[in-house]
Structure 1
Amino acid sequence: MAEVALHGVTRAFGDTVAVDDLSLTVGDGEFVVLLGPTGAGKTTTLRCVAGIEPLDRGSVSIGGRDVTKASPAERDVTFVFQQYSLYPHLTVYDNLAFPLRSPARRRPEAEIAERVRAVATMLRIDAKLGNKATRLSGGEMQRVAIGRALVRTPSVYLMDEPLSSLDAKLRADLRLELKRIQQDLGATLIYVTHDQIEAMTMATRIGVMDRGRLVQFGTPREIYEDPADVYVATRLGTPRINLLPMGALPVGGAPAAAAWMGLRTEHVEIRPAGAAAAAGADATVERVERLGDQTHLHLALGAEKMVTLTDAHAPLARGDRVTVAARAPLFFDRDGRRIGAVRGARA
């Protein structure tokens, strides 16, 4: 495995700058997730690392070697695309063996067989090796696509939203499996997603991207607890962080420049209306979503709306009055920049 370093990487398509002066270092053996919505520049960044997209400016190095001008084949990386990209006329075995039979990396058939069976067992598709790709479920096809990357031992694994087309249960299963495999292999892996749960559960570090720029880079805990700005704060957390103007709730010790307070569910205290306690403000319950193990509470706080969690068995209904208090909120200025310490590195 190897360290990956991007220095001032820029890639534009006409007037659209897809990646804008991006610098990022992925350590040897790290699982780094690039997170952001469609159009953030995540996939283009991945393609720049792979050599599929040429750079307009900047450089890429892998394992300390400058590969900016190197072809994809010379970079020793594997790429798992969002779509399965399997050969439908080949069996699962032959799809997995294909990278090891290429002229540039051809291995003896006995070695290929050993490697294919080991990877198929790891991915729990060893019983399907004789099946044609067209006879597989969506989840099995995606496992084969991932397996085609794993049969090799490249310097870096690159994955572009490989789980996005799967159902929720299968995504959850494969999230755990991918993390386990990455740890077992000690692999350097760069993974692109718009799914905050994938990012939080799998990443060693997360790079939050917006319109081609790296906004913040840090551990999942750093990104969640110490966001650099409102944009980053809204990337993680369910329900989404509540943004309220200063004055909507009484809080002590707010910075003078604060224009907004950010309240995650753990920053919100809900009490019966009129209960004697620390300062708060009255709110009206607009909707109650009971999800079994937890309840989402939609509140109207004057003209402001907010959503938080409460006990699954809380006896609340639409129209009820409650008192809302803030505990240790995050503060942002008028431009949405965080006021306070930010531990995660910023671009």
Structure 2
Amino acid sequence: MYSASPERYSSGMKYRRCGQSGILLPEISLGLWHNFGSVDTFDNSQKMAHYAFDNGIIHFDLANNYGPVYGSAEETFGQIMKKSFAPYRDELFISTKAGHEMWQGPYGEWGSRKYLMSSLDQSLKRMNLDYVDIFYSHRFDPNTPLEETLQALVDIVRQGKALYVGISKYPYEAARFAYHYLKQRDVRCLLYQGRYNIFNREPEQEQILQQAKENGSGFIAFSPLAQGLLTNRYLQGIPDDSRIARGGFLKKEQLTNDVLQKIEQLNKMALERGQTLAEMALAWVLKDDLVTSVIIGASSVQQMKDNLKGLENCQFTAEELRLINRIIL
């Protein structure tokens, strides 16, 4: 029987306020996109979830189609919830999303009211939950009226199936409309979730970070290590067990000579800071208060331990930031 560490809130994890709300999120959250599906070993997934919570990671980030197969990450989490986390439900902040493909037919993806509500009902059953803490519209739907998508989010909160709602990967103007629409109905957008890392600066360039702050929302970053590019994994070639070798979302053609040179320069800078490249990349995302939390993925407890070291030094000098920008931009 699992018993959470009594030291979980004195382990060094720091918490940041999420926009203008009562929610505090850990600087590092655990994402279940990979390594929690039906193709993975349940024992390993459970050990990672336990380690996360024992070290102050109270936020677990899911989506309906995380796996593989679709839905299996939520099923895995549901088992962990039942076996381990049930006594601690009120300490946990659990998210899920809907927007990408989940099942066949016209109502199996995007942003219709029918899809969002049906998907959340399924997610709750898979996770053995009565409600989630936050439910996201996982992507902007250019064909469904945005009012329909957002009103579904409002009604989901009013039905008690989610305490808060958020948006993910929305373009600036759609996000602006969403913030206003939700605020007018007393269901504020708690979080904007977006891809953000040293290589990908779109949230900065498109003013998404500042927009979230101005609207009282938090920003939570995913893919902080650029699918593994911002680590030392590829400095000596492509490992057989890497995401590139497995043919996942990260493609071999993305590892160009130019990208590899940038990784080498960043790695050298990280070593001078006394960090690994992964630790520095995580610290960079958390360098200021525009980011509430960063979502990490992990394949082992050891990898989680290594990632948590990124919290030890999130301070960068102005010269260090200029050097990173010169390397990347």
Q: TM-score range by the shorter chain?
A: 0.3 to 0.5
Determine which structure has the larger strand proportion and give its number.
1
| Higher alpha-carbon Rg | 1
Relative to the length of structure 2, the TM-score reads: 0.32
